[in-house]
Chain A
Amino acid sequence: MFLTLTTTGSPEHPATDLGFLLHKHPGKAQAFSTSYGQAHVFYPEATEERCTAALLLEVDPVALVRQGKGGGGKGRGGAPDAALAQYVNDRPYAASSLLAVALGAVFSSALRDLCKALPERAGQPLPLRVEVPVLPARGGPDLVRALFEPLGWTVAADPVPLDKRFPDWGDSRYVRLVLEVPDGVLTLGAALRHLYVLLPVLDDAKHYWVSADEVDKLLRAGAGWLAGHPEQRLITSRYLARRWSLTRTAMERLELVRLADADDTDVDEIDNAVTDDDAAIMDDATDAAVAESVTTDAAPEAEPSVPLAVRRREAILAVLGASGATRVLDLGCGQGQLVQALLKDTRYTRVVGVDVSVRALTDAARRLKLERMGERQAERVALFQGSLAYTDKRLKGYDAAVLSEVVEHVDPDRLSALEHAVFGSARPRTVLVTTPNAEYNVRWESLPAGHVRHSDHRFEWTREEFRAWADGVARGHAYTVEFTPVGPDDPEVGPPTQMAVFTRTDSGMSDGTGNGTGNSTGNGKEVRAA
């Protein structure tokens, strides 16, 4: 990875002062060891008028993997996995957090505007040009401009095509970045601090542990400019989210990473039950910062004043309350928001969250503070991995089951399995199903026509389609069904979310017909009656 810093000068202020300011002699090429490989500093040009310092970091991908495995004493830190992606890696070429680390190490004095040789010069602004030929930029050129321009830079960010041989593949996530600032605006140290923070923020890679005191580092490097930056929230959340997602999720998704690898698939295509924006909510430190990014998952949902997710939860709680249920299943509980809400109401004596995603369950357990919960509370709640593609004896004997935004994540030809697992096998008295109303999608201005709201949605139903499905299920399994809108009920296209409330019509003797291994009261009775 590579970066150049150029300044221009005059006989009074020769450009070669850059060498003093950086503490690197323009006539020499110097090499420094960093934890990820050798950093080289040399000057392609060094005249009074113009002086360019180049930083070249030779990243050793093998060392990168090794460091990850070693974990830097953190156990779970470091590169998260042994994914194939590790070995075919853009880190040796693209400017990332590693380059920022190298900047901080190689130019540590300059970063703090310190210069023994020219102390007064160090605090003075100077004209600067920074070139980063390959900068990974999640958010694209627009975000690059939004981050650098408020700081006084003139920004040129040109996207790099993925492969000219295959033009339909489009642009890569890299931009060729040129930053320029005229004399009198920024000191060299300020410029370096911008790069130190914003390169990793743009990279937004989840894959590299940096260090534990990242908050302090951010505060130091952001001193004087971050507080007033219009994108402060995004900068903070990305910078810190990177930190925890590394330390926490790394181990949890290893098995899925391997399965993705086995299938020539990007792990994000498989391990997408929890999005990072969702997950970021979990981090106390970034709670405030990410309040905004919560809505990025549901970008279209930003429009109603109350988020749709909240309205949905309220609607579910109202129906559950009216049903008289005390033992409730949240099937597809995700990160446990509904479970948490149910536990606040003492009428629910047993609340069970089930999800197929281990990652979601881990997040839910953290949200509920399950490990620190008192015994009495803990007895009311359980979280476990389950799948509605299979029948599951553990799901029998409950009053109600909630499937909130679940069915649309199931392939249509596999829905019959879910129907049997819930309505045929578990058979709670009440079943609540919510799902997006596809008709409403035209009301989301940010949603392109014909698109679904979430990349994992296998379908989105119109009101008529949903009714047809729900009526069929009810008929086939001895339930009645009623429909309730959730969110503003648009006269033309209906509500954003539609809800079906199923009620079992038989007397409910089918509970506890399992093979008697469970400890539910139903089974106990069966044993005694025999």
Chain B
Amino acid sequence: MTNDRNDAHAAMTTSTTSVAMTDTATGGADTAGADRAAAAIAAAATRVESGERGARTAAPGTPAPPRRLAVTDLSLVVLVGATGSGKSTFARRHFKPTEVLSSDFCRGLVADDENDQGASGDAFDVLNYIAGKRLAAGRRTVVDATSVQSDSRKQLIELARRHDVLPVAIVLDVPEEVCAERNAARPDRAGLPRRVIQRHQRELRRSLKHLEREGFRKVHVLRGVAEIDRAEIVTERRHNDLRHLTGPFDIVGDIHGCASELETLLGKLGYVDGAHPEGRTAVFVGDLVDRGPDSPGVLRRVMSMVANGTALCVPGNHENKLGRYLKGRGVQPTHGLAETIAQLEAEDARDPDFRTRVREFVDGLVSHYVLDGGRLVVCHAGLPEKYHGRTSGRVRSHALYGDTTGETDEFGLPVRYPWAEDYRGKAAVVYGHTPVPAATWLNNTICLDTGAVFGGRLTALRWPERELVDVPAERVWYEPVKPLRSDAPGGHDGRPLDLGDVHGRRVVETRHAGRVTVREENAAAALEVMSRFAADPRLVPYLPPTMAPTATSRREGYLEHPEEAFAQYRADGVERVVCEEKHMGSRAVVLVCKDADAARTRFGVDGPTGALCTRTGRPFLDDAALTDEVLARVRAAVDAAGLWAELGTDWLLLDAELMPWSLKAKGLLRTQYAAVGAAARTVFPGALAALEAAAARGVDVQDLLDKQRERAADASAFTDAYRRYCWPTDGLDGVHLAPFQILAAQGRSLAALPHDEQLALIDRMVEHDGSGLLRTTRRLYVDTGDEESVRAGVDWWLEMTGRGGEGMVVKPVGALVRDGKGRLVQPGIKCRGREYLRIIYGPEYTRPENLEKLRGRSLGHKRSLAVREYALGLEALDRLADGEPLWRVHEAVFAVLALESEPVDPRL
């Protein structure tokens, strides 16, 4: 690479006053050709030619025209000039105050004195640090320091390289007298020895010749005060920045001389003679040439489309090598280059100029493009996010060759680093380079090289539609060195997520409730549970949110009562609600695939046909065979109800309750609930007998005795309460599943489907369940504005809980409802039965003095948590529906789990 750079420098014309240089380090590309391409595509590009020539040719006597200095929009601008040369003033005039980092200011920061030269080391550390942060964030940065010594500039050039931005130098060359005068006028600099200025001047002169060689990619030298005053900064867009182009695009994978297949594919995409009637733009990911039968034919087509503005093209490593060959460099004619050379030679007779045009075309290719508002990045070999829109040798190198591990495989080919596995960027990266059997999305990246030249297919991606269009190869044009790998890079072979996706404090962007913060300690707890106990994250695309209870009731003997729930929704502007029976089991999320193939295709797992998980993502049943049986029964019911076809899916995600509670909570029952019952049952007979004996002796214990009798009765009611949740099961005998919402199907979230429609679909599943596993959810619709309807709702609840029912959940029928202020309303409010609450608040909670204390409960945090978790759950479903990468879905799911560990009164 170093050699290449030197070549590039050698080839450059150096003007006397300033040099506008290219913005890549290798091969001298990304220059004129890129300009042509960009100009052809969009006249809208706001690039302004730099105006040095104009300045030089201005006629004397007339007011001098402005001296225009081209500065790339993302660059590190280094002002070079002696003390007193006016750098700070210049910076103030031309750049935003926040763009400018002054060494004097940094000296002040670390030493309380802007002129303390002893603090320079620390001051530059601070300056470098801030500049680094700015550049990493993609912000242009101007360094205001003398920078007259090559050592100090070297550090800045390294900084620019480290962040893959262009270093730009602006030299202020001002006579010594002027500098001295200015310094004298400043009280803090008045004592500055003249020799310092003289030294700066000497160093500056020495530097001028070397600035380009040092690595500055644009050098502007302003001589004298007048020229400095006339200067104007013109911001240039980077060549790779085509964000203003929105397509639509058809991105075409590696062609390798398969001209006939290319024509077929273009035809299939709707292009007529290189142009699309709807104005679509083709984008070629490179490797047009080598190996195949007609590289000149491919070049001719692509070059004419680029010239006509109907296509963009990025270079592949094969173009790069061809370019070097055409420039007369010594290259090995391997990997199919020999075929291209022969074909070009055959072309020479017919079109002697062709070779030159190819050389210029290849020379002008820009290594990658950022398109469509930054949503799309196209390059040959893929590009990590931190390189998007950046300009440096290593960016170009990655774009052309990808990242290699330095190893070679058993075929002698370099082992490619699976950069896409680490990719977490927002922009979709579309690339080629590595032949794969089929193009598949991985972490928002897709490789379109489907090995056309090796007898595979030629593939294109329609953007923004994300549709794949391909044509088969007409034959095997070239025998591959090694077989196409059966898995795409980072394909579905159980490679895990990265800790960086979930660890520490995080903010998750949700489309329904904005940013949701996960605190570090909660993420830590979730990490522990997710890692040690949860099922395969690919099969846990959702976790259910917590649910707030109804506002506390003042009604005698009650802590919760449905009146408040209805009133709350009425206040939220929700007219129609559904009351759903609360099942007496444990929450279960059921992912059921039509078959193992569907599970493999959609979720990338080999073997399982779904999952049955608890609300923290753990496998619900220890016994995998039993889980399979549950899934099989659900599958049969979905089958029989015809829901696969009706919902256009081969999998469903269901929110459900699995009964009995004792099935899952047996441990808790034994250590907690039954234990308390047993202790109470055993202690009271003796205590009551002792009190009765004391009373018989005439001791005044009547009050105490009465109270203990009441407590004994409460304890007995408590035992009755938990016993309703327990019944014996054997295999699946006695086990019931009550689905109450279909969360998602292939390609869509169903979370917004109104609950009446949801329940109707589920009813059909239950009706078609021949196994007796599925249970329906009883329901009642209530009009919150209609007193009679509300009363019916209350009566329904009283009747149900009176018979020992757990209670009900009240939900807006419409699902996903917002209130008058546009905020999400609670997705559901639970109203728990009076007896059930003994299990929650303790056997004696109904005693008036206890109820009074308990009424002081505060619901605010629980409600907020319920809405945040709800939004995260919806987000997970939306991301799943959009086919986003696993880590994106998992991020939201993980956040739900983390939030579940927030400190909220657990009885709510």
Cβ-defined contact, A54 with B694, below 8 A: yes
Asked if A255 is an interface residue, CB under 8 A from chain B, the answer is: yes
Q: Is the CB of B525 within 8 A of A256?
A: yes
User: Of residues 859 to 907 in B, which have CB atoms within 8 Å of A's CB atoms?
Assistant: 897, 900-907
A476 CB to nearest B CB, Å: 10
Given A389-B497, A515-B384, 16 more A-B residue pairs with CB atoms under 8 Å apart are A46-B697, A82-B906, A94-B679, A160-B682, A163-B678, A169-B666, A169-B674, A173-B675, A255-B524, A259-B900, A263-B616, A269-B667, A409-B532, A413-B536, A417-B496, A510-B406
Partner of B494, one of A173, A261, A385, A417: A417
Q: Cα distance A160–B679 when bound, in Å?
A: 8
Interface 1/0s, chain A 191-233, versus B by CB < 8 A?
0000000000000000000000000000000000000000000
In the assembled complex, the Cα of A192 lies from the Cα of B665 at a distance in Å of 38
Q: Looking at the assembled complex, report how far the CB atom of A49 sits from the nearest CB atom of chain B, in whole angstroms.
A: 14
Residue of A at shortest CB range from B530?
A389
Which residues of B pack against A, CB within 8 Å?
A: 158, 161-162, 384, 386, 392-394, 403, 405-407, 417, 421-422, 493-503, 521-522, 524-533, 536-537, 546, 586, 608, 614-616, 618, 661, 664-680, 682-687, 689-691, 693-694, 697-701, 704, 707-708, 711, 715, 718-719, 723, 726, 728, 839-845, 850, 853-854, 897, 900-907
CB-CB < 8 A to B501: which residues of A?
A: 390
Could you say which residues of chain A place their CB within 8 Å of the CB of B726? Answer: 165-166
Tell me whether A259 and B161 are in contact (CB under 8 A). Answer: no
CA distance A40 to B708 in the complex (A): 12
| 74-130 of chain A: CB within 8 A of chain B | 82-85, 87-90, 92-94
Residue of A nearest to B543 (CB): A262
Choose one: B670, B675, B839, B845; the contact of A90 (CB below 8 Å). B675
Q: Is the CB of A54 within 8 A of B690?
A: yes
Look across to chain B and name the residue whose beta carbon is closest to the beta carbon of A514. B422
Tell me the minimal C-beta distance from B256 to chain A in angstroms: 28
Q: Residue A161 at the B interface, CB < 8 A?
A: yes
Q: Are A255 and B689 in contact (CB under 8 A)?
A: no
Given the contacts A62-B853, A389-B531, A28 and B687 also touching, CB distance less than 8 Å: no
Q: A270 within 8 Å of B by Cβ?
A: yes
| A509 in contact with B392 (CB, 8 Å) | no
A residues lining the B interface (CB < 8 Å): 1-2, 4, 27-29, 40, 42-46, 52, 54, 56, 58, 61-62, 82-85, 87-90, 92-94, 131, 133-134, 136, 160-163, 165-166, 168-169, 172-174, 176, 254-256, 258-259, 261-266, 269-270, 273, 356-358, 385-394, 409, 413-414, 416-417, 420-421, 424, 506-507, 509-510, 513-516, 527-528, 530
A172 engages B674 (CB within 8 Å) = yes
Measured CA separation A264–B524 after assembly (Å): 20
When distances are taken between beta carbons in the complex, the residues of chain A under 8 Å from B897 are: 259
Whether A258 and B667, one on each chain, are in contact in the complex, defined by CB atoms closer than 8 angstroms, is: no
CB neighbours (8 Å) of A424 from chain B are: 495
Among A45, A174, A266, A385, point to the contact of B672 (Cβ < 8 A).
A266
Chain B: minimal CB distance from A509 (Å): 3
CB B735 to nearest CB in A, in angstroms, measures 15
State in angstroms the CA–CA spacing of A514 and B689 once bound together.
Answer: 74
Complex CA distance for A509 and B795, rounded to whole angstroms: 73
Using Cβ atoms and an 8 Å threshold, which residues of chain B touch A510? 405-407, 417
Count how many pairs of residues, one from A and one from B, have CB atoms less than 8 Å apart in the complex: 276
Q: Is the CB of B531 within 8 A of A42?
A: no
- The verdict on A88 contacting B674 (CB below 8 Å), with A390-B502, A391-B496 known, is no
CA distance A258 to B898 in the complex (A): 10
16 contacts between A and B (CB under 8 A): A2-B687, A44-B691, A83-B906, A84-B840, A89-B842, A92-B711, A134-B679, A160-B678, A161-B678, A163-B723, A258-B900, A258-B904, A259-B616, A265-B665, A393-B499, A509-B406
The 6 closest A-B pairs by CB, nearest first: A509-B406, A255-B525, A44-B693, A255-B901, A416-B494, A417-B496
Q: Is B531 a contact of A172 with CB atoms below 8 Å? A: no
Name the residue of chain B whose CB is nearest to the CB of A93: B679
Q: How far is the CA of A476 from the CA of B850 in the complex (A)?
A: 63
Docked pose: A165 CA to B678 CA in angstroms: 11
Task: Please tell me if the beta carbons of B842 and A61 are within 8 angstroms of each other in the complex.
Answer: yes
The reply to whether B903 and A82 contact each other, CB–CB distance below 8 Å, is: yes
The chain A residue sitting closest to B403, CB to CB, is A513
Contact of B526 among A40, A259, A391, A392 (CB under 8 A): A259
Q: Inside 8 A of B502's CB, which chain A residues have their CB? A: 390
> How far, in Å, is A249 (CB) from chain B's closest CB?
14
With a CB–CB cut-off of 8 A, which chain B residues contact A417? 494-496
Docked pose: A84 CA to B498 CA in angstroms: 34
| Residue in contact with A255 in the complex, picked from B493, B522, B618, CB distance below 8 Å | B522
A231–B777 CA distance with the chains assembled, in angstroms = 56
Q: Please state if B671 and A266 are interface contacts (CB–CB under 8 Å).
A: yes
**A525 CB to nearest B CB, Å:** 12
Q: How far is the CA of A40 from the CA of B905 in the complex (A)?
A: 32
Complex partner residue of B495 from A166, A388, A420, A516, CB under 8 angstroms:
A420
| Shortest CB distance B536–A (Å) | 6
A172 & B903 in contact (Cβ 8 Å cutoff)? no
Partner of B497, one of A133, A160, A390, A413: A390
Alpha-carbon distance A92/B682, docked complex (angstroms): 12
List B contacts of A261 (CB < 8 A). 906
Measured in the bound complex, the distance between the Cα atoms of B421 and A304 in whole Å is 47
Complex Cα spacing A273 to B699, Å: 54
- Which residue of the partner chain B has the closest CB to A392? B499
Measured between alpha carbons, how far is A136 from B676 in the docked complex, in Å?
Answer: 11
Quick one: which of A162, A265, A386 contacts B674, CB cutoff 8 A? A162
* A43: B residues at CB distance < 8 A: 694, 697, 699
| Residues of chain B within 8 A of A173, CB atoms compared | 671, 675
Bound Cα distance A84, B689 (Å): 32
Instruction: Report how far A27 CA is from B694 CA in the complex, Å.
Output: 9
Which of B530, B586, B690, B900 has its CB near the most chain A CB atoms (within 10 A)? B690
Q: Chain B contacts of A162 at CB under 8 A?
A: 670, 674-675, 677-678
Contact B407 A509 (CB under 8 A): yes
- Interchain CB contact under 8 A, B528 and A393: no
> Cα distance A176–B726 when bound, in Å?
26
Are the C-beta atoms of B417 and A513 separated by less than 8 Å? yes
A85 to chain B: which residues have CB within 8 Å? 672
Asked if A133 meets B701 with Cβ closer than 8 Å, knowing A389-B496, A392-B499, A510-B407, the reply is: no
Closest to A172 in B: B678
Closest Cβ–Cβ distance, residue B499 to chain A (whole Å): 4
| Contact A56 B687, beta carbon cutoff 8 Å | yes
B723 & A262 in contact (Cβ 8 Å cutoff): no
Most buried by B among A136, A165, A390, A527: A390
Q: A409 to chain B: closest CB distance in Å?
A: 7
> B532 CB to closest chain A CB, in angstroms?
6
Tell me the bound Cα distance from A397 to B496 in angstroms.
Answer: 19
Counting chain A CB atoms within 10 Å of each CB, the highest count among B386, B678, B704 belongs to B678
Given the known inter-chain contacts A172-B674, A258-B901, please indicate yes or no for A88 contacting B682, CB distance below 8 A.
Answer: no
Shortest distance from the beta carbon of A66 to any chain B beta carbon, whole Å: 9
Evaluate contact between A40 and B678: CB separation under 8 angstroms.
no
A388 B682 Cβ-Cβ under 8 A: no
| Complex: A261 Cα to B546 Cα, angstroms | 12
Which of A62, A163, A174 has the most CB atoms of chain B within a 10 A radius of its CB?
A163
| Complex Cα–Cα for A392 and B503 (A) | 10
Residues of the B chain whose Cβ atoms lie less than 8 Å from the Cβ of A131: 686
- Do B499 and A258 touch (CB < 8 A)? no
Query: Which of the residues B158, B615, B680 comes within 8 Å of A93, measured between beta carbons?
Result: B680
- A2/B693 contact (C-beta < 8 A), A256-B529, A258-B902 known: no
In the bound assembly, the distance between CA atoms of A399 and B454 in angstroms comes to 41
- Counting chain B CB atoms within 10 Å of each CB, the highest count among A136, A259, A387 belongs to A259
| Interchain CB contact under 8 A, A391 and B691 | no
Which residue of B has the minimal Cβ distance to A161? B678
Smallest Cβ-Cβ distance to B662: which chain A residue: A166
Closest chain-B Cβ to A142's Cβ sits at a distance in Å of 20
In the complex, A104 Cα to B680 Cα: how many Å?
24
> How far does the alpha carbon of A420 sit from the alpha carbon of B494 in the complex, in Å?
8
Supposing A258-B902, A420-B495 touch, asked if A88 and B676 sit within 8 A by C-beta, the answer is yes
On chain A, the residues within 8 Å of B386 by CB distance are 515-516
